[in-house]
Amino acid sequence: MLVLNNVEVIFDGISLVLKGVNLSVPRGRIVALLGSNGAGKTTTLKTILGLIQVERGEVTRGSIEFMGERLERLETPRIVRRGIAQVFEGRRIFEHLTVRENLLAGAHTLSNLKEIGADIERIFAYFPRLTERLKVAAGYLSGGEQQMLAIGRGLMSRPKLLMLDEPSLGLAPVLVAEIFEILKRLNREQGVTLLLVEQNANMALSIADEGYVMESGKIVLNGSAAELRGNDDVKEFYLGLSQVGARKSYRDVKHYRRRKRWLS
């Protein structure tokens, strides 16, 4: 469905941020993009959606294809209408609008009010907690409810591909587990393809079919979710486990030296 082929992104004409990124997202699958802060994960999503153009960034090499069509020169509204939506890091809901108004804002690409109403009911089937908060200003929702609303709003445009940036950020573990289970159901029951950016590698790989590890703007490792979960480097640097199974401190992990094979 989505293919990034040797994509290079430069900001302000001088800062090379993405360095030949190769990534593919098959139709109907869940793909995880893992990496630490500053690795380039969010920039990758912004590049796919065309948002780097408003931040003085540009694709200087490579191509981005979605369902066979090149995207790298298109503006964001046209990309969204082709079937890509994003749930942004930090949720970014419209706090002064009600839950219902936020959902309606997500349906800006649609015009049939009857279908929009049916879509809202479908969202409530996955996030029943929002039903009780329908007329409440979104700024008064809990963090978990806001994340549910952000995902629901993203689904309102009926995307073929939904990209999520750090959906677990700032949430209690029980809420993270609930939201990831809903994402898995959406993929299985609605056929929505997911590209999931996460620092919570363990949770992301628990629902993903395959994954990529990004470091300093490059993809350094990829494979099936099972392969990544079993990889010693991923265990140590992203799952916090040493080779003997002892959990390590992330304060120590972040200072590791990458294996030479990751830099080849």
- Number of domains the chain contains: 1
Side-chain-side CA neighbours of 259 within 13 Å: the count stands at: 10
In angstroms, the CA 193 to CA 187 distance is 6
Phi-psi sector, 40: left (phi>0), alpha (psi -120 to 50), beta: left
Residue 28 sits in a domain whose CATH number is: 3.40.50.300
Cα three-residue angle 76-146-119, rounded to 5 degrees = 65
Residue 120 in any domain: the answer is: no
Residue 31 in any domain: the answer is: yes
In angstroms, the CA 192 to CA 195 distance is 10
- Which residue carries 């993009």 as its tokens? 33
Residue 134 in any domain: the answer is: no
pLDDT of residue 114: 85
Residue 115 in any domain: the answer is: no
> What type of residue is 219?
I
> How many other CB atoms are found less than 10 A from the CB of residue 128?
10
Mean pLDDT by 10-residue block, N- to C-terminus, for the chain (264 residues)?
96 89 96 91 95 89 95 92 91 91 88 86 92 91 92 93 92 89 93 92 93 93 92 77 48 45 44
Residue 122 in any domain: the answer is: no
pLDDT of residue 108: 83
Q: What are phi and psi of 169, to 5 degrees?
A: -60, 125
> 3-state DSSP call for residue 183?
helix
